[in-house]
Amino acid sequence: MSANESSETVCRSEVRPTNITCSHEKQSITASVISMTVGIVSNSLALFILVKSYNRVRIKSKASFLLFASGLVVTDLLGHLINGSLVLFVYSSKKKWEVFDPHHIVCTVFGACMVFFGLSPLFLGSAMAVERCIGVTRPIFHSTALASHHMKRLLWLTWLLAALVAVLPVLLWRPYAVQRSRSWCFFHIEQPKDWLDVLLPLLFSTLGLLALLLSIVCNTLTSCVLQARLHRKHHCRGTSYHIEMICQLLAIMVVSCVCWGPLLIHVIFLSTRAKDDSASFNLLMIRMATWNQILDPWVYILLRKAVLRKIFMLLQGCWGSKFRTLHRWQRSMLRSSMETSNSGSGPPDCRCLNRQPLPDTTIKTIT
């Protein structure tokens, strides 16, 4: 979504402004600028790291994961740029929608962008979880049936689904409405007129919650399979890469659940009852959701293999034998790093069958 919206209080020209109201307005604008700036810088840094890794990777499953991760970061970056610019434009126009948007065009674009850049990260997170679950539990099928062009098509289909939900209100002649705080546009959740005004936000929330649920199921299954392999001491040459990716997916899932879960549930309750909540509470839910786009890139910045290795070595030094599983993973990671540096190509995406790895499945580049 966009940067943080303003508080409900606003300095109006027709009412004598006080120092308190003007102070609230300035604080809101400052918070929006800071949020937008931090989001753009964070996503740009994460995108640089992902593109660099994507160009050097030789593992098919790792390349597919980095493709989706790069798409997620690009989506978050564009969300900050577009929605943040719209927020600042609304502030600069003193929230006088009747003056700067008499034909309801800006509000329609604003609402569609809020929905698109809100659902896209959730859909991409679930797609990444499904792809990793297949790669770990069905590696042969993943290597033979899921080519790079299939992954790219799935990425575009994910964006297309989010875009379809975003433009659905316009196609059904139910344009987005200016919310009570007059700082953002969304569905008619505050004063629904008929069943369509109830159905559209319910569709938005249901799809978002289903994406979160799918991520939880797939990531849990993948984590259990990898944990079982480590306990059995079955180390494929690519096990450490799987663990690195599942750590990042788990972090993305937790961030999405914490940031988006309250808003999605709140929209459902708000759409199915006649009582309206205060505008400040609605804005609080939006602010929580916007942090998803700020925290997502730091998952890729902080949870890289080099950083995870140092964390696990620190844990092993503090707790010793209690972290035998971490010690096994560390040895697998070090062995994979040595093989990568010696051979010039990364380890294959394989599964241990009778402790014999499958033939190497490598790629030179994904175009």
Note the pLDDT of residue 139. 84
Q: What is the CATH class of 23-343?
A: mainly alpha
Neighbours of 278 (CB within 10 A): 11
pTM value is: 0.78
Q: What gap in Å lies between CA 119 and CA 207, rounded to an integer?
A: 8
182 in Cβ contact with 97 (< 8 Å): yes
CA distances from 32 to 68, 82, 177, 261 (A): 28, 13, 21, 22
Note the pLDDT of residue 236. 54
Total residue count of the chain as it appears in this document: 367
User: Taking the chain, what is the end-to-end CA distance rounded to the nearest angstrom?
Assistant: 30
300 in Cβ contact with 69 (< 8 Å): yes
Backbone φ, ψ for residue 185 (5° rounding): -125, 145
Sequence-distant (≥ 6) Cβ neighbours of residue 310 within 8 angstroms: none
Note the pLDDT of residue 274. 56
Q: What is the pLDDT along the chain (367 residues), one digit of tens a residue?
A: 544 444 444 444 334 444 555 555 666 677 778 888 898 999 999 988 888 877 776 566 678 888 899 999 999 999 999 998 999 899 888 889 999 999 999 999 999 999 999 999 999 999 999 999 998 888 888 888 888 888 899 999 999 999 999 999 999 988 899 988 888 899 988 777 788 888 999 999 999 999 999 999 999 999 998 888 777 755 555 566 777 888 889 999 999 999 999 999 988 888 877 556 666 777 778 888 888 989 988 888 887 777 767 777 777 677 655 555 555 555 555 454 444 434 334 444 444 444 444 444 443 343 3
The two tokens of residue 1 are 């979504």
Note the pLDDT of residue 60. 62
Sequence-distant (≥ 6) Cβ neighbours of residue 80 within 8 angstroms: 2, 3, 35, 36, 39, 40, 43, 293
Name the residue ranges covered by the structural domains of the chain. Answer: 23-343
253 in Cβ contact with 125 (< 8 Å): yes
Note the pLDDT of residue 208. 96
Q: What gap in Å lies between CA 253 and CA 258, rounded to an integer?
A: 9
Q: Which residues pair with 129 in a beta bridge?
A: none
The two tokens of residue 121 are 């990260």
Q: Which residues pair with 59 in a beta bridge?
A: 362
CA distances from 24 to 20, 27, 277 (A): 6, 5, 21
Note the pLDDT of residue 64. 83
CA distances from 287 to 32, 39, 79, 165, 280 (A): 10, 13, 14, 22, 10
Note the pLDDT of residue 344. 39
DSSP state of 186: E
